[in-house]
């Protein structure tokens, strides 16, 4: 787990940017698009730029939920945060650690076993994310883009495209359900529902203080998760989860909806249970993307990449098992 990311603060400056929307960006909300393009700028600043009309699409003002179309021209004004004289540098030790986390690499992509604690993009007080680390590791690589996302505290398989053709190809698979993603998660309590499919629509809300929360709601977007029980431990159940959809915080919200929140989840979880498990060594969210199966351009066979639970999560299970046998 990355433990020292918070010591890096944002310092960045960007000039005017004029971007033409391409096929792989079609139908994307302008706020989500800007979060990616201005990855090192706080989201509050981005939304303020939209509200003040400083972000223009085809020379006109837009709202945060505006959806982009191929050929749209987006103008982003100069923005800067912090001390522009400070140079962003990825620590060599972190680059070495991530280099050792590479599970697969060819001329099309890199699959990385992302550690818990490392965000995929800069922002929210972090001067860099996984994408920046990969760019620092591969300085001669002109194109580096994430094909999908993982929450900062979620560990496991994540794929980075090395060219636009591969990115579009992967995006189409994710949209059509052609990518198989499996997760290992420890949930609080004794899961007694065996293999269970949860089909509960999810909706994003912004609550007091500006924190973004996701909840089950009838008017939300379709979300389907398949839970399979693997093993019971004292106070915790180990499950495998296969996603049909890829909504924000989907596993975490569906698990909490089933009455068994993900262990270590500070947003949707149970404080008392989290404290008990913390005493057993659980220092972060118990959620790990352990299986990624998909096609790459020009390949006849699917690429299958797997990675076991990180040692710290496995150690928690060992302690729980040992305690239960006494």
The catalytic position among 40, 72, 132, 151 is: 151
265 flagged as catalytic: no
Kindly give the residue spans of alpha helices, DSSP state H, lying in the chain: 30-37, 43-51, 92-99, 130-137, 164-176, 250-257, 271-278, 311-324
Alpha-carbon torsion, ordered 231, 236, 237, 240, to 10 deg: -110
List, in sequence order, every beta strand (DSSP E) within the chain: 12-14, 17-20, 56-57, 60-61, 73-76, 79-81, 102-105, 109-114, 145-146, 155-161, 180-188, 196-199, 202-206, 212-216, 224-233, 236-243, 287-294, 303-306
Cα angle, residue 231 at apex, residues 228 and 234 outer, rounded to 5° = 130
- Among all residues, which ones are annotated catalytic? 151
């Amino acid at each position: 787990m990355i433990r020292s990311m918070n010591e890096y603060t944002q310092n960045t400056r960007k000039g005017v940017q004029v971007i033409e929307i391409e096929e792989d960006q079609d139908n994307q909300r302008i706020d989500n698009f800007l979060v990616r393009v201005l990855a090192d700028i706080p989201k509050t600043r981005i939304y303020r730029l939209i509200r003040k009309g400083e972000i223009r699409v085809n020379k006109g003002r837009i709202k945060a939920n505006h959806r982009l179309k191929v050929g749209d021209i987006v103008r982003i004004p100069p923005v800067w945060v912090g001390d522009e004289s400070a140079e962003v540098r990825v620590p060599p030790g972190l680059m070495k650690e991530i280099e050792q986390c590479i599970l697969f690499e060819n001329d099309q992509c890199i699959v990385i076993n992302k550690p818990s604690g490392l965000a995929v993009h800069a922002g929210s007080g972090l001067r860099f994310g996984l994408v920046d680390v990969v760019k620092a590791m591969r300085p001669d690589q002109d194109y580096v883009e994430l094909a999908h996302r993982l929450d900062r505290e979620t560990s496991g398989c994540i794929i980075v495209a090395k060219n636009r053709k591969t990115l579009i190809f992967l995006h189409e698979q994710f949209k059509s359900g052609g990518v198989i993603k499996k997760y290992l998660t420890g949930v609080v309590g004794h899961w007694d529902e065996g293999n269970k499919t949860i089909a509960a629509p999810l909706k994003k809300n912004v609550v007091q203080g500006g924190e973004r929360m996701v909840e089950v709601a009838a008017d939300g977007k379709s979300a389907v998760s398949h839970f399979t029980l693997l093993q019971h431990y004292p106070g915790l159940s180990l499950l495998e989860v296969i996603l049909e959809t890829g909504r924000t915080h989907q596993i975490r919200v569906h698990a909490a909806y089933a009455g068994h929140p993900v262990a270590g989840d500070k947003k949707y979880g149970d404080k008392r249970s989290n404290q008990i498990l913390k005493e057993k060594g659980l220092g972060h969210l118990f959620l790990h993307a352990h299986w990624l199966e998909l096609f790459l351009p020009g390949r006849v066979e699917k690429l299958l990449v797997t990675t076991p639970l990180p040692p710290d999560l496995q150690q928690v299970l060992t302690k729980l098992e040992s305690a239960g046998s006494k």
